[in-house]
Amino acid sequence: MSAADTDLAARRGGASGGAVPVPQRALIVIPSTGEHDSRTWRIATALVARGHEVTILGRHAPGLPRDVRDPAGFRIVRVPVSAVDGLPLPASVRAAITRARTPRTRAGTAAGRPRSTDVEAPHSASTVPGTPAGAGAAGPGAAPGPRPPGLASRARRVVGGLRRMTAIALTVRSQTRATVRIAPDADLVHGMAYMGIPVALTVGRRRGAAVVYDARDIYVDAGNLARLPRPFRTVVAARERRWARTAGRVVTVNRPYAEVMAERWDLPLPAIAMNCAYRTDPPDPPERRFHAHLGLPSEARVVLYQGGFSPGRGIEQLVSAIRDVPGAVLVLLGYGAMLDAIERVAADPSLADQVLGRRVRIMPAVPPDALLGWVAAADVVAMPIQPTTLNHRLTTPNKLFEAMAVGVPVVASDLPGMAPIVRETGCGIVCDPTDPAAIAAAIRSVLDAPAEERRAYRERALAAAHATYCWERQAEVLLEEYGRLTGRPW
């Protein structure tokens, strides 16, 4: 997307009713570099479009600028963050430890690894495609994986949990220390995720600004935290409850999440701003971007997965399913801990076709302002997220709304978070995400549908996106909450 296109998207995001906005200053604290954080990008562009000053405060990584002005008008400031830097030791001692660790860190860094860190605690291990869904996970609903029995196994799990908890605490301390030193004055601080809200609360207290907690997941039941021993999860839950109750307002991404949070934290129902994309008018007929970029034959049909390469997202099941979808290529567009494992499977000779070539193709993540153009070039977007945790069962992933925004039909998990939206809008098909055969059947049903039925999918998705499931509508919720907290319209 060009600078002009970005500006257009921002102006659309700012097209909200209500009082004339009074220019104010917003800080958005994120526990990542922000490179692929579409929600942060949408909030920032919408605020800039309404005349506000926006600074994103994130984490630095090699190759990224420390302080840069985005073409859309917001500023990004990144600080170096590490667990070592969070140690309560003199700066000279911390520096010596960092120098001693640097060679080992570099040796263990694989080429092509993403610079971003997830907004959740990073996953400590990847899952190799083809293993049973949920293997090794300990979240609610997870399939039990093989574990060495006895006291030694429990001891290892406790030690691992303690190390992870310590690393999280030290990393948050490091980011807080560095961010407080450089954070500009603000009227409001928007803290992203459970590793961002403690930083945001400290910055807000120091700057005398209102604080919003954007709880984008049920974190204690997501990712690595869901696999912690129960006592550690209890500690995390208590801390998050305290942070949520300290913030001026909690915001989340769907009603199922909001209901869980309200009950657990004894708070009013959090405000709900879904992770929808900006309204857009996709090209008709769609561009053939993937065909041109990947050298696919003209008859190839593109099944797209975009987002994080991490366990529980259904990537393993998709790889198995694509074998039973004739004429289709699975494109995995994203980044994450499973990249190496996915690359090995994609190179499997049994996943090759004489006409299509490799049936699984991998592409690096693209910036948020360019993503919709790629999604619009797919034939179907698949999101068979696994029911391995409460967080996954209730999720409404970005990719659902991004597909709707450009009129591409979806194949989604038949789970309480996303299935009602898919059924209500008629934008695709839901299936059992744990069964590759069911996923393949659903994909075939979409791809093999008559042209008029595929056109109907497109029209229903676009109509729902333009009317309800768009960022312009969702941003109104945030603007209202910001205005209530600062006493001036945003």
| pLDDT tens sequence across 188-234 | 999 999 999 999 999 999 999 999 999 999 999 998 899 899 999 99
What pTM was estimated for this model as a whole? Answer: 0.86
Q: What is the pLDDT of residue 112?
A: 37
The Cα 464–Cα 457 span in angstroms is 11
SS3 113: coil
Q: Are 6 and 69 in contact (CB under 8 A)?
A: no
Alpha carbon distance 482, 101 (integer Å): 43
Say how far apart CA 272 and CA 33 lie, in whole Å. Answer: 24
Which of these CATH numbers, 3.40.50.2000, 3.50.50.60, 3.40.50.10490, 3.40.50.300, describes 3-84+168-276+471-486?
3.40.50.2000
Please give the average per-residue pLDDT across 331-360, as a whole number: 92
In whole angstroms, give the CA distance from residue 40 to residue 90.
34
| pLDDT reported for residue 93 | 76
Q: How far is CA 87 from CA 117, 119, 124, 408, 457, in A?
A: 20, 22, 21, 48, 54
Across 424-445, average pLDDT: 98
Tokens coding 372: 């919709």
Convert the pLDDT of each residue in 105-147 to its tens digit: 443 333 333 333 333 333 333 333 333 333 333 333 444 444 5
Write down the H helix ranges in 87-196: 91-107, 151-182
Query: What pLDDT, on a 0 to 100 scale, did the predictor assign at position 111?
Result: 36
Provide the pLDDT for residue 161. 84
* pLDDT recorded at residue 17: 52
Domain with CATH 3.40.50.2000 in the chain: 3-84+168-276+471-486, 289-467
What mean pLDDT do residues 47-60 have? Answer: 98
- For the residues of 18-65, what is the DSSP string, one character each? SSPPPP-EEEEE-SS--TT-HHHHHHHHHHHHTT-EEEEEEE--TTS-
Tokens in use for 32? 């990542």
9 contact partners, CB below 8 Å, separation of at least 6: 1, 45, 72, 278, 280, 369
Cβ density class 325-355: b for 16+ within 10 Å, e for less: beebbbbbbbbbbbbebbeebbeeeebeeee
The CATH architecture annotation of domain 289-467 reads: 3-Layer(aba) Sandwich (3.40)
Instruction: Find the mean pLDDT for residues 163-173.
Output: 93
Write down the pLDDT at residue 150. Answer: 72
* pLDDT attached to residue 224: 85
pLDDT above 70 as % of the chain: 87
The predicted model gives 47-76 an average pLDDT of 97
Give the integer Cα–Cα distance in Å for 9 and 42. 9
Omega before 285 within 30 of 0, i.e. cis: yes
pLDDT of 96 above 50: yes
3-state secondary structure 280-303: CCCCCCCCCHHHHHHCCCCCCEEE
pLDDT at 100: 78
